Amino acid sequence: MKNIIWLMLCLGLCSCAAQYPKNLRVPDTTPLISFQDVLSDQKGNVGLQGRWGGVIAGVQNHQSTTEIEVVQFPLRNNGRPEVEGQTQGRFKIVVKGFLDPVVYQQGKVVTALGTIRDSIQGKIGEHPYLFPALTDVKIYLWPEVKEVEYIEPWPYWHHHHWYHGPYLHRVKVKKSK
């Protein structure tokens, strides 16, 4: 009986673990190169896999490919970029074919899993910049989440003997389209 209880407890705890979206998952044994590692050794990591994310800064469609410029942010444990932190730079996602700039528009949050390729020479405004790049990618556009704060107007409505304020709550609301 004890074994069944332990098994149920372990399964319950495992089901609470954050997971990456299906198209961004890889086996645990797959080495993924971080964005910081590529910045320190741009040539040595070509051909290896990376999973990076951030906020889209722009989209350029070419004859046979599309380049998405992304402002990099560190990923949370579920793969969503933590856009409130410090960025370490920018990178490009290179996709074969056409991606609609209205769908992949500036300001949207994205995570990509792909193969690291040679860096791409470009510019940010007039400043020359060497963009680390991913190719053969799987892309996940995150739904927009808006955080709203509200204060309970009457704190004694749901008063508990063990809870004595402040009555500030944070609620995350997904924006529907």
Residue 16: what pLDDT?
A: 54
Burial 49-86 (b: 16+ CB within 10 A, else e): bbbbbbbbebbeeeeeebbbbbbbbbbeeebbbeeeee
* Secondary structure class of 111 (helix, strand, coil): strand
Mean pLDDT by 10 residues, the chain (177 residues): 60 62 91 93 90 97 96 94 90 96 96 96 94 96 77 54 55 55
Q: Which amino acid is at 126?
A: E
**What is the reported pLDDT for 157?**
53
- One-letter amino acid at 173 equals V
Domains observed in the chain: 20-142 (2.40.50.140)
CB-based contact 149:115 (threshold 8 Å)? no
The pLDDT of residue 130: 94
d(CA 91, CA 79): 17
Q: Which residues, in sequence order, are CB contacts of 165 under 8 Å at separation 6+?
A: 155
Residue 144 DSSP symbol: P
Per-residue confidence (pLDDT) for residue 26, from 0 to 100 = 92
The pLDDT value recorded for residue 177 is: 44
